[in-house]
Chain A
């Protein structure tokens, strides 16, 4: 493999290891803040397991969660790097390497035969989003099924803007204990059917230590649901709501809600060109 692509594959492997073993500091801080406010004894016990788990994963360099996910990849490329299929091949190679070296659970299967590829790759997996940038940088976002399965999209009416918070809250309510709360909720508003879902996922990569008043309002209403940590009750159902918007057709209002478990993982590595 050409040295640049080999370095990109190594960067993907490293970013996956980082994502799988160490939680971003803003997420860990949000968990501690929520723990300090929580009064329900069962919920506090669950938080204590979470903190013990994070420490063991970090010290032993092993995955935080056994659902090591399927991979969504964001790649920024500078002008000097040609945009070719080799970029995609290098990313896929990095995932194959990480599957053995971290190690990861092989999760990618054919949707109908359910045959497992064994290396976390397959048709359309990983999803790779390429964006122009100043540096060659890879962001890996492993997504587990527990929370992904609870996500929803609705093509709302332009006259229903006021109902967006209610819809988002109802998605989290329907999900109940299944997505491993406390959750982070990514909301995509606008765009088309497909891009609204992409916005919702990209919103989950934003720092969670600040929210707009709109995001805070939805977050507060979710925390009134009483689902609690792991569905065991208490006041902590949602750590943050993050919204990303895009322009849409005058007759449309797509709203996508992508749910993320407390284990909100991502890894970012710059590649030397």
Chain B
């Protein structure tokens, strides 16, 4: 098992589709609305080396904890991802894989990690809530800043065109 900590750098170029990784460090949740607002207003965090998690979590806002936070379907973000990668994002986490275009956009710079869909309790057990951006988008669509410890992911699409979802 490979261990990586965000922000990520050129070490992502050494990863290959199928590699199992324990991922730690700060990540940012972003679904459709968050991608659109970032394109409009810019990043509320430093995108260099950042990892974006396609996720709309359940947050306990009274106790500032992540209750449940599995991945959402990444394909909805296919046409919204290039902007993220161009700004320096080095990793995406989601489920179900992404388009051929995204596979090409990842080449030479970033990877797509697959995390098991539905595994929200397991994900939450690896997470501490670190902040929130654009809370007006609501719980599911807002950008949650989360500190990860050892999230078990698999490299779904690597930076060399390798793609476990291709068939």
Q: CB of B93 within 8 A of chain A?
A: no
Residues of A near B122 (CB, < 8 A) are: 49, 52-53, 56
Residues of B near A50 (CB, < 8 A) are: 116, 118-119
Distance between Cα atoms of A52 and B116 in the complex (Å): 11
Beyond the given pairs A53-B119, A229-B116, A230-B114, 11 more chain A to chain B contacts, judged by CB atoms under 8 angstroms and listed by A's residue number, are: A46-B154, A50-B119, A52-B122, A64-B121, A65-B117, A66-B69, A66-B120, A103-B60, A230-B96, A232-B154, A232-B156
Residues of A near B68 (CB, < 8 A) are: 62-66, 68, 105
Contact flags B44-83 to A (C-beta < 8 A → 1, else 0): 0000000000011110100000011110110100000000
Residues of B near A231 (CB, < 8 A) are: 96-97, 165
Report yes or no: B164 in contact with A105, Cβ–Cβ below 8 A: no
Could you list some 6 contacts between A and B, CB below 8 A? A54-B121, A57-B121, A63-B121, A66-B56, A67-B70, A261-B118
A56 with B121, Cβ < 8 A, contacts A177-B97, A231-B96 known: yes
Distance between Cα atoms of A20 and B75 in the complex (Å): 25
Contact of B117 among A41, A60, A116, A146 (CB under 8 A): A146
Residues of A near B70 (CB, < 8 A) are: 53, 65-67
A64 with B154, Cβ < 8 A, contacts A230-B95, A231-B165 known: no
Report yes or no: A232 in contact with B114, Cβ–Cβ below 8 A: yes
Q: CB of B20 within 8 A of chain A?
A: yes
Chain B residue nearest to A104 in the complex (CB): B58
Chain B residue nearest to A56 in the complex (CB): B121
Distance between Cα atoms of A63 and B124 in the complex (Å): 10
Q: CB of B149 within 8 A of chain A?
A: no
Contact of A233 among B56, B72, B167 (CB under 8 A): B167
Q: CB of B139 within 8 A of chain A?
A: yes
Residues in A30-88 with C-beta less than 8 Å from chain B? 41-42, 45-46, 49-50, 52-54, 56-57, 60, 62-68
Chain B: residues with Cβ within 8 Å of the partner, total of 38
Q: CB of A262 within 8 A of chain B?
A: yes
Q: CB of B140 within 8 A of chain A?
A: yes
- Closest Cβ–Cβ distance, residue B107 to chain A (whole Å): 20
Contact of B73 among A56, A60, A104, A146 (CB under 8 A): A146
Contact flags B155-167 to A (C-beta < 8 A → 1, else 0): 0100000001101
Chain A residue nearest to B116 in the complex (CB): A49
Distance between Cα atoms of A50 and B95 in the complex (Å): 14
Residues in B125-147 with C-beta less than 8 Å from chain A? 125, 138-140
